[in-house]
Structure 1
Amino acid sequence: MQQSEENEWLARWREGRIGFHRDAVHPALVRFWPSLGAPPGAKVLVPLCGKSLDMRWLAEQGHPVLGIELATDAIEQFVADGSGEVSRYRQSDFDICRQGSIELWGGDFFHFHIQQAAEIGAFYDRAALIALPEATRQRYAFHLAQLLPPGARGLLISLTRAPGDSGGPPYSVPAEEVRALFEPNFELTHLADGEPEENGFRESVWALKRRGPLA
């Protein structure tokens, strides 16, 4: 991330401006994940994870979870709301908390490298792509592709805003941009569009499969 983006993100968590956080598991995850085809027990990468309850749901389905989050406040709130012992250690640029089968890596997603992603077999993005400004989204899509092995599957939830509303985050990422960002490296399937919300937001759900020859 750019320094200005990092500062804004950290300030949001510090000041409690986290309207993007959901107090329940996202219904699209519950609906579509079982049919995604992710192997049982595959470790799921969750970029810019915040303190999302979706990670606990994935863990309950038998998936180890590796979440990456810049804001220490988010990580500490997540583990405080959970149960079980928390182990802490450091690897490279990341301070890591582990609670049960969930690892939370505190640091910049763009500093997470393929050597650290050796066990990743799937991914989930509900609020990462839409948290990034347009200039950073292409970098994000490329970096994500580098971390995933051929055949890895993921679920992406994008968002569009009301016409004329160009604010953010969350940012509006229309379907044509999603395709342009991900189709070079992923097989992309549009699964559903949500109903327009009162704030003018509308979510779209995508299934992705990393292209490339299988081992």
Structure 2
Amino acid sequence: MTDLWRARWQEGRIGFHLPQPHPALIHYWPSLGVPDHAKVLVPLCGKTLDMRWLAEARHPVLGVELAPEAIEQFLAQSSAPVSRYQQAGFSISRQGNIELWCGDFFHLHIQQASEIGAFYDRAALIALPEATRQRYAFHLAQLTPPGAKGLLVSVSHQGEGGGPPYSVPHQEVEALFMPNFRVSRLEEVEPDERGLSETVWHLVRRGPLEP
């Protein structure tokens, strides 16, 4: 899996990258009621401009990405200075109020994510094969405190489709996240010319005593 994504970034096979912030983020994020200055976790962030949008909306951002090529390309989009340091197996780059942690998302621990107050997943769940998605959903729950709100974008394919992005049906999204999150479906977008349909979800981390 690591080699696959590194190869895609090295070869420029990043059709999943958008040249602008995702429309669902712009449309739905303000309605979630995430507090100002809450730090937003962006797993498998790539070089998404969604992080710039969140930062401009007064949120510190913690992006986690396996491919250093993606991080360097993101940093190069701005002339702002960059500070770099190492922590617990991650190479960390900070530019403004955006921190980019280069390393394995599954090695990020709650102590390192202690300030997280919200999360945003546009391309993490759908980048993972089925066998890894349950581990991802559980790890995300471990990193987010009760009451933390997030936006998730899933993808489904018309007919037989490979990946990544992988097709994750609605029933699987609900089965993965409902044990630890309140899950609401906000929008299902009509399939594009590739037969890919995006669905936008609102997730809220449940408390320990919440049914």
Matched, 1:181 2:147: no
Report 1:16-165 matches (<5 A): 16-165=12-161
Aligned partner letter, 2:202: A
* Number of residue equivalences: 209
Give the match for residue 197 of structure 2: 202
Give the match for residue 5 of structure 2: 9
Q: Does 74-83 or 123-132 show the bigger shift?
A: 74-83
What SS class does the counterpart of residue 181 from structure 1 fall into?
helix
Give the superposition deviation at 1:163. Answer: 1.4
Distance 1:14 1:205, change over 3 A: same
Q: TM-score, normalised by structure 2?
A: 0.98
Q: TM-score, normalised by structure 1?
A: 0.96
Matched, 1:171 2:188: no
What SS class does the counterpart of residue 8 from structure 1 fall into?
helix
Question: 2:87 and 2:195 mapped to 1: Cα distance?
Answer: 41
What SS class does the counterpart of residue 203 from structure 1 fall into?
strand
Give the superposition deviation at 1:190. Answer: 0.3
Question: 2:208 and 2:96 mapped to 1: Cα distance?
Answer: 33
Question: 2:198 and 2:58 mapped to 1: Cα distance?
Answer: 27
Give the superposition deviation at 1:195. Answer: 1.4
Question: 1:83 and 1:22 mapped to 2: Cα distance?
Answer: 20
Question: 1:163 and 1:179 mapped to 2: Cα distance?
Answer: 21
Identity of aligned residues (%): 69
Give the superposition deviation at 1:213. Answer: 4.9
What SS class does the counterpart of residue 116 from structure 1 fall into?
coil
Question: 2:101 and 2:191 mapped to 1: Cα distance?
Answer: 33
RMSD of aligned Cα (Å): 0.9
Give the match for residue 186 of structure 2: 191
Give the superposition deviation at 1:124. Answer: 0.2
Give the superposition deviation at 1:162. Answer: 1.2
Where structure 2 has 5 or more consecutive residues not aligned to the other structure, the ranges are none
Give the superposition deviation at 1:159. Answer: 0.3
